[in-house]
Structures are given as structure tokens and as C-alpha cells.
Amino acid sequence: MRFSFIAIASAIAATSMVMAAPLRNLAKRDQASDNGILNFALTLEHLESEYYTQGLHKFGPDAFASYHLDDKVRERFVHIGEHEATHVKVLTSVIESMGGKPVPKCTYKFPLDNIETFIAVSRALEQTGVSAYLGSAAGITSKDLLTAAASIVTVEARQSSFLNELVGGEGAPYAFDTPLTPREVFTLASNFIESCPYDLGIAPFTQLKAEIKGDKVETSYEGEVKGRQEWCQFLYNNKMVVSRREECKLPPTVNGYVYVVITDTATPLTLKDEDHILAGPALLFRGNH
């Protein structure tokens, strides 16, 4: 099942509240390992904090009003951005207290063309954050870290629901959410990273371009091999639905987010085996206005 979790993403933080005290207790564990995990989390926190900083600097109250969004909506984004800035400060402090060197910010490439795009990317970041924490849950051995992670993922889910409803979608479209591996998470995050002054320690999969067209998904990626049998695998609601790529038929029960990956096998993916991924994941949304 897709819920066979792995560990490395245990400290991945997207948009959420981080409790400082449980994180400081991590100093009791192996510091070299923890510093690597926490710096990976800090890499993503830098990205998200900078995203909201840039977005809210560009889009003031008048810009939100032009899209018929009142001040309360922008205040909600300000609140999320404040959480992100807090995450950066807390993770930096924890890494330093453990004798590590916190990673600096990268250079980013955010699509900030308009409010609609700003909200769409925010929605993607929140959903990816939920999936990142779910992908780490079973690998967490520290009770303090597990408690901190649980407090984070519940806030992630609330913020994801807010953004779903903001664009006319269903707040909680499924009974289950979908866990992702660290490499899958970083593949999505790397869309917004232009360069970094350090080795990120993880290589993304080939980027997948995907677009919903009716009941099918059109896909493309660099390095495609003509004539090779390939499959679209759709991940959502703790399901793995497989379709031949030439059809790439969107499951009819998708009513919200769905991750799609291209594989060289029809065998459903697990979190322990990524060898058959050729490209992706891409994150798509269906059912919003």
C-alpha cells in the first residue's frame, strides 16, 4: 500500500506551525543525521517563506480587491507567511544549537503574474506539505518529533482546505490524503528553485508537464523515448490508478488534487520503490472553478 512510509522527510516543513520545544529535544539524537534532515526542512522553509514574502509584497490589498477578495483573505495569507518566517527562525536556531551550519536561502523563480497564480501556487505548496509529512510519519522514532510533526500536518491540512474552498473546490475532497517520498516532494519544490549555494543532497526526478483535458491528462517530459511502453499512475485518496500513457485516463473519482507520474511499469508504485519513475510527479487539481 502507499501508506508504507519512509523516514527521511520527517522534518520537511511546508506551511505550518512549528513548536520550538519539541524540536529542541532532537539534540538528544544523532546530530549529524538530524542536521541533515533539519537542513532539508530549512531548504523548503526558506522557499515557502520567501514565496509569501515576495507575493504579499507584490500583491497589496488593492490587488486582492481587484479579484473581489476582501481584506480578510489577504490577512489569512499574511498569517501563513508569518508562520513560514517563524519556521525559518526556529529551524535555524535548532540547527545552530546542535552544532550544525544552517543552509542559506536559494535563488527562486516564482510565477507571480497575478493573484490567481499566487493562490494556485500557494494551494500546491500546502498540499505538497501535507503529503510530505504523511510520507514520513512511520519513520519517526522520537515521540517529541512525532508530536511536532502531527501538530504541523493538522495545520497544513487546514490551510490546504482553506485554499481549496477559496477557489471553489471542496475543502477536504477525500477520506485519505496521499503520502509522497522526499524525492517526489523535492521534484515538486524544485520547480521554484533557480540555484542554490550548496549541495541539496537529493536529485529531483525529470520534470513532468501535465494538463487535464476533459477525462484525460496530456503529458510531456524531456528525454522521452519513442515506442517505449509507459504508464500514467495517478496518486490520490490512498489510491494508485494506472492507465496506459497513450490514454492517460483520469480516474472518474478524482475530485480535487491528484499527483501523476510516468512509469515504465503498470505495477502500482510504493513509497519503497521509485526505480520505475520516468518523470514526475506533477500536481493537478480537478473540480475547482
Report pLDDT digits (tens) over 203-212: 999 999 999 9
Domain boundaries, the chain: 8-195, 209-285
CB atoms closer than 10 angstroms to residue 139 = 14
Please calculate the CA angle 253-177-20 and round it to the nearest 5 degrees: 160
- pTM assigned to the model: 0.83
Burial of 11 by CB count in 10 Å (0-12 exposed, 13-18 middle, 19+ buried)? buried
Which stretches does DSSP call E strand in the chain? 107-108, 193-195, 209-213, 216-220, 231-236, 239-244, 257-263, 277-285
Whether 208 and 219 have beta carbons less than 8 Å apart is answered as yes
Q: What is the pLDDT of residues 114-166, one digit of tens each?
A: 999 999 999 998 898 888 777 766 655 556 655 666 777 777 788 899 999 99
At 282 the pLDDT is 97
pLDDT at 67 over 50: yes
Q: What number of CA atoms fall less than 13 Å from residue 210's CA on the CB side?
A: 28
With cut-offs at 50, 70 and 90, classify the pLDDT of residue 17: very low
> What is the homologous superfamily of the domain 8-195 according to CATH?
Ferritin, core subunit, four-helix bundle (1.20.1260.10)
Q: For the chain, what percentages of helix, strand and coil (3-state, to nearest 5) are there? A: 45, 15, 40
Of 206-215, 240-249, 269-278, minimum mean pLDDT range: 269-278
CA angle 107, 112, 115 (to 5 degrees): 150
- In eight-state DSSP terms, residue 205 is P
DSSP summary character for residue 32: H
Task: At 141, give phi and psi (nearest 5°).
Answer: -100, -25
Model confidence at 88: pLDDT above 50: yes
Q: Give dist(CA 256, CA 271) in Å, integer.
A: 22
Q: Which of 30, 40, 24, 54 is nearest to 103 (CA)?
A: 40
pLDDT, mean over the chain: 82
How many CB atoms are closer than 10 A to CB 29? Answer: 15
What size, in residues, is the chain? Answer: 289
